[in-house]
Amino acid sequence: MTKDQLLFKQMVEQFPDLAGYWDFEEQKVKVISVEDLPLSTGEIILMTFFLSVWFNRNVDFDITRAAGYLSTENKRVITQWFMEPFWP
């Protein structure tokens, strides 16, 4: 794994329910549609963020919704990435 891939894995693994959608050995994600996942609203916001980083393009991530909805801890994950971005 590259350094960026390891950073991404560490970031996602903070959320075990979301990390299970990634196969880091194969470098694949097992998500077709976020709307079909059995996740809470906060988890959906984080998942769209993680998918946006993973694919290096916006996957319906809404930063204003994230700012208004997520806990401070979850916002820190996003802001830390924003300050030092990487793409796996």
| Residue ranges per structural domain of the chain | 3-83
10-residue stretch averages of pLDDT, the chain, 88 residues long? 95 96 94 89 97 95 97 97 96
* Pure H helices in the chain: 3-12, 16-19, 41-55, 63-69, 72-83
Give me the pLDDT at residue 78, please. Answer: 97
What pLDDT was estimated at residue 32?
Answer: 83
